[in-house]
């Protein structure tokens, strides 16, 4: 397999680079490299690196590309761990290398490599940490929705598409930026220059539910790049907590001072803007609103060693004014509906009782999620960040270090549960493209193939010869079918039966794709069938009761419906209906002409 030259990389994917750079910056290694296969049989492409020369990178990519994307890598696994690969780099800067494949389900989508000077010995702890970092990268990329069933880590064909009226389950995230607020914020920032000198300053609002910070105003030496304005930091832009110095200050709940922006500009987006304009130092101060982190104030200077942490107290008068601006409620907006001729129309009648209850339930979930984000996730993130600093310093003996690392793993598990709850409360962002439902079903079954085979579950599939595609998010739809298949698998005894039937029907002027998934396992009690889609309802010992509610949310966001029926001696049937695309390429079995429905075992 040949490798593309480094100068011909595919279009950079900012989200992917951010995840990989964050992981690499947290690794204590002389040289580290992350490379990705963007296509099944495509070249291995460098996406983030540190400490390797271009010649080193080219040699490593050429060697690892030969292994391909299959699992396991023949003849290369390390004898101790079964995953790591030992390599030796023969270039002017000879190094000993330790590589681990980045794996998603049953495919290798890239490699993570660390390098040390020739003759260096890698301990077993180094190998374990490398594997843990690789697993963390995969989980982050999966949470960000960067995987695709056909092309790994690819951009969606459709970035945005209007959602049908009434299909949105939750309101869109609140934007605090406005021209009026920007003017007030910038006036306060100018006052900060009289207390602590700066060349550039900006303020951010912290959104605990979305888990990011939003830039509200910028003043000072701001020179937009006429060639590429997209790379400039501007009001209204959102920055994630992991990829910004402002997010670091929010997580740690304390000021941050940097005098070497060159070392952090690869990790923090806001530092990248300062470093590009030759700034030397920065100060980020978090401020609090009603006892919680409300946002951050950032000062940048072209003078080296300009700021100290004691400057945060000097800025207290300005910080108080910023807090007052953010906690002042915005004037309410009375909704007015406009008729076809542009004339104002009275508001619609009061909604029916079921709709009111649904809105109240959604509002309660939103309030509960905000409470978790501010009262639980923030302290946990602060605790984890402090533990990470302690372990990175290397001042602990082996036994205390092991205990701290075990505590960090428990914290990460708790944070994963919190993120699941908060992700459910946030509106979905769908990367829509034309999808073929049978292919998504097959890829979902492939994930559970080992478990189904081990328990002798008999799977029958019936797909029509011609089927209209569906415009949707393949990753989210795969999540739907995986959740349903797992529930069916857990309900059945060894030797059970799982039937999948896909059909196409007329629905008004268009078409509708219907998927029936039936299992002969233990039925759902009649008094619980109507509750399975309610958030936080579960009959399992493990889990938080968001599996099927998330499935319903995804289906409804695609403009479809889902229903469950269950009865003794009949098992459980899940019916999913999705709107099809009547004009476009249809799914057809390979071969000539039209074939009748095929039934496979």
Residue 199, helix vs strand vs coil: coil
pLDDT tens figures, 157-201: 233 333 333 434 444 455 677 888 889 999 999 999 899 999 999
Asked if the domains 179-327 and 433-600 are classified in one and the same CATH topology, the answer is no
Domain covering 179-327, topology: Beta-Lactamase (3.30.450)
User: Are 278 and 265 within 8 A, CB to CB?
Assistant: no
pLDDT of residue 589: 46
Please compute the mean of the pLDDT values over residues 260-275 and round it to a whole number: 86
- pLDDT band per the 50, 70, 90 thresholds, residue 273: confident
CATH, domain 433-600, list 2.60.370.10, 3.40.50.970, 3.40.640.10, 3.30.565.10: 3.30.565.10
Question: Is 155's pLDDT higher than 50?
Answer: no
CA dihedral 536, 538, 542, 546 (to 10 degrees): -40
CA dihedral 403, 408, 409, 410 (to 10 degrees): 90
Between 420 and 140, name the one with better pLDDT: 140
User: Are 496 and 455 within 8 A, CB to CB?
Assistant: yes
**Peptide linkage before 72 cis (omega within 30 of 0):** yes
Report how far residue 584's alpha carbon sits from residue 435's, in angstroms, rounded to the nearest whole number.
11
Bin 403: left if φ > 0, else alpha if -120 < ψ < 50, else beta.
alpha
pLDDT of residue 447: 82
Query: How many residues are there in the chain?
Result: 601
pLDDT of residue 524: 82
Pick from 424, 431, 434: which is nearest to 153 by CA? 431
Question: Is 360's pLDDT higher than 50?
Answer: yes
- Sequence-separated (6 or more) residues with CB below 8 Å from residue 3: 43, 44, 58, 61, 62, 65
Worst-scoring range by mean pLDDT, 35-44, 312-321, 354-363?
354-363
- Strands 561-567 and 95-104 come out as unpaired
Joined together, the tokens standing for residue 25 give: 């910056």
Residue 439, helix vs strand vs coil: helix
pLDDT tens figures, 15-47: 777 788 888 877 777 788 998 887 666 678 888
Q: What is the DSSP letter of 442?
A: H
Q: Could you tell me where the beta strands, DSSP code E, fall in 225-321?
A: 238-240, 256-258, 281-289, 292-301
Worst-scoring range by mean pLDDT, 363-367, 383-387, 401-405?
363-367
Report how far residue 307's alpha carbon sits from residue 259's, in angstroms, rounded to the nearest whole number.
8
pLDDT tens figures, 77-87: 333 345 778 87
User: Are 566 and 524 within 8 A, CB to CB?
Assistant: yes
pLDDT of residue 366: 65
Domain ranges of the chain: 6-143, 179-327, 352-425, 433-600
Please compute the mean of the pLDDT values over residues 123-147 and round it to a whole number: 81
pLDDT of residue 3: 46
pLDDT tens figures, 399-416: 888 888 888 877 877 877
- Strands 497-507 and 458-463 come out as parallel
pLDDT of residue 240: 83
Instruction: Please count the other Cβ atoms lying within 10 Å of the Cβ belonging to residue 39.
Output: 14
CA dihedral 437, 440, 442, 445 (to 10 degrees): -120
Question: Is 293's pLDDT higher than 70?
Answer: yes
Element (H, E) at 263: helix 261-264
Report how far residue 485's alpha carbon sits from residue 441's, in angstroms, rounded to the nearest whole number.
10
Q: What percent of the chain has pLDDT over 90?
A: 12
CATH, domain 6-143, list 3.30.450.40, 3.60.21.10, 2.60.40.790, 3.40.830.10: 3.30.450.40
Mean of the per-residue pLDDT values of the chain: 76
Residue for token pair 């790994």: 152
Report how far residue 109's alpha carbon sits from residue 527's, in angstroms, rounded to the nearest whole number.
45
User: Are 498 and 460 within 8 A, CB to CB?
Assistant: yes
pLDDT of residue 94: 62
Report how far residue 162's alpha carbon sits from residue 557's, in angstroms, rounded to the nearest whole number.
11
User: Are 105 and 141 within 8 A, CB to CB?
Assistant: no
Between 388 and 297, name the one with better pLDDT: 297
Report how far residue 571's alpha carbon sits from residue 492's, in angstroms, rounded to the nearest whole number.
9
pLDDT of residue 10: 41
pLDDT of residue 227: 55
Bin 339: left if φ > 0, else alpha if -120 < ψ < 50, else beta.
beta
pLDDT tens figures, 424-452: 766 667 788 888 999 999 988 888 888 88
Report how far residue 306's alpha carbon sits from residue 324's, in angstroms, rounded to the nearest whole number.
28
Worst-scoring range by mean pLDDT, 12-16, 365-369, 502-506?
12-16
pLDDT tens figures, 512-543: 999 999 988 888 887 777 778 877 777 666 66
Question: Is 150's pLDDT higher than 70?
Answer: no
Pick from 91, 1, 98, 78: which is nearest to 45 by CA? 1
Residue for token pair 């920055």: 239
pLDDT of residue 334: 39
- pLDDT band per the 50, 70, 90 thresholds, residue 357: low
Which residues share a beta bridge with 45? 36
pLDDT of residue 279: 93
pLDDT of residue 197: 92
Joined together, the tokens standing for residue 363 give: 């509002």
Q: Rounded to a whole number, what is the distance in angstroms from the first to the last CA of the chain?
A: 36
Report how far residue 563's alpha carbon sits from residue 565's, in angstroms, rounded to the nearest whole number.
7
Mind giving me the DSSP string for 375-425?
A: IIIHHHHHHHHHHHHHHHHT-S-HHHHHHHHHHHHHHHHHHHHHHHHHHHH
pLDDT tens figures, 192-237: 989 999 999 999 998 877 778 889 999 988 766 555 555 678 888 8
pLDDT of residue 222: 74
pLDDT of residue 166: 40
pLDDT of residue 362: 61
Report how far residue 171's alpha carbon sits from residue 529's, in angstroms, rounded to the nearest whole number.
27
């Amino acid at each position: 397999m040949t490798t593309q030259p480094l100068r011909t990389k595919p279009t950079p994917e900012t989200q992917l680079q951010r995840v990989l750079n964050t992981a690499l910056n947290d690794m204590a290694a002389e040289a580290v490299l992350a490379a990705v296969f963007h296509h099944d049989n495509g070249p291995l492409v460098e996406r983030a690196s540190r400490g390797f020369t271009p010649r080193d990178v080219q040699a490593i990519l050429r060697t690892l590309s030969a292994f391909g994307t299959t699992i396991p890598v023949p003849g290369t696994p390390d004898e101790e761990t079964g995953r790591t690969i030992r390599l030796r780099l023969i270039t002017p800067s000879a190094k000993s290398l330790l590589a681990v494949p980045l794996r998603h389900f049953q495919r290798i989508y890239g490699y993570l490599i660390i390098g040390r000077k020739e003759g260096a010995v890698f301990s077993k702890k180094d190998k374990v940490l490398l594997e843990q970092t690789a697993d963390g990268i995969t989980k982050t990329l999966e949470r960000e929705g960067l995987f695709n069933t056909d092309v790994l880590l690819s951009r969606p064909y459709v970035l945005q598409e209007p959602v049908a009226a009434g299909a949105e389950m939750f309101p869109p995230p609140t934007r605090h930026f406005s021209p009026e607020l920007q003017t007030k914020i910038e006036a306060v920032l100018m006052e900060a220059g009289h207390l602590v000198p700066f060349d550039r300053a900006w303020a951010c609002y912290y959104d605990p539910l979305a888990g990011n910070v939003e830039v509200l105003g910028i003043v000072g030496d701001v020179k937009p790049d006429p060639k590429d304005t997209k790379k400039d930091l501007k009001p209204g832009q959102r920055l994630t907590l992991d990829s910004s110095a402002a997010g670091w200050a929010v997580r740690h709940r304390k000021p941050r001072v940097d005098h070497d922006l060159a070392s952090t500009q690869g990790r923090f987006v806001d530092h990248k803007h300062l470093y590009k304009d030759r700034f030397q130092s920065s100060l980020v101060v978090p401020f609090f609103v009603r006892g919680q982190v409300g946002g951050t104030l950032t000062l940048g200077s072209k003078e080296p060693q300009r700021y100290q942490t004691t400057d945060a107290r000097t800025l207290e008068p300005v910080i108080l004014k910023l807090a007052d601006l953010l906690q002042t409620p915005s004037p309410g907006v009375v909704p007015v509906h406009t008729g076809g001729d542009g004339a104002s129309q009275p508001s619609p009648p009061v909604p029916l009782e079921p709709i009111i209850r649904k809105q109240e339930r959604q509002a309660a979930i939103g309030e509960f999620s905000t409470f978790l984000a501010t009262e639980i996730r923030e302290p946990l993130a602060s605790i984890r960040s402090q533990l990470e600093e302690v372990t990175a310093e290397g001042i602990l003996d082996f036994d205390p270090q092991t205990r701290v690392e075990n505590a960090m793993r428990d914290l990460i598990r708790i944070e994963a549960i919190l993120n699941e709850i908060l992700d459910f409360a946030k509106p979905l962002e769908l990367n829509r493209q034309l999808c073929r439902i049978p292919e998504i079903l097959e890829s979902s079954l492939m994930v559970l193939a080992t478990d189904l085979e081990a328990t002798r579950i008999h799977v029958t599939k019936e797909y029509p010869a011609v089927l209209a595609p569906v415009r949707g998010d393949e990753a989210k739809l795969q999540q739907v079918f995986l959740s349903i298949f797992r529930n069916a698998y857990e309900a059945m005894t060894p030797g059970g039966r799982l039937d999948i039937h896909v059909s196409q029907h007329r629905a008004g002027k268009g078409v509708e794709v219907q998927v029936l998934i039936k299992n002969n396992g233990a039925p759902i009690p009649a008094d619980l069938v109507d509750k399975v889609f309610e958030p936080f309802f579960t009959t399992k010992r493990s889990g938080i009761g968001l599996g099927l509610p998330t499935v319903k949310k995804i289906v409804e966001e695609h403009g479809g419906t889902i229903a469950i029926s269950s009865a003794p001696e009949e098992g459980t049937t899940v019916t999913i209906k999705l709107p099809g695309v009547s004009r476009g390429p249809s799914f057809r079995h390979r071969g000539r002409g039209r074939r009748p429905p095929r039934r496979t075992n």
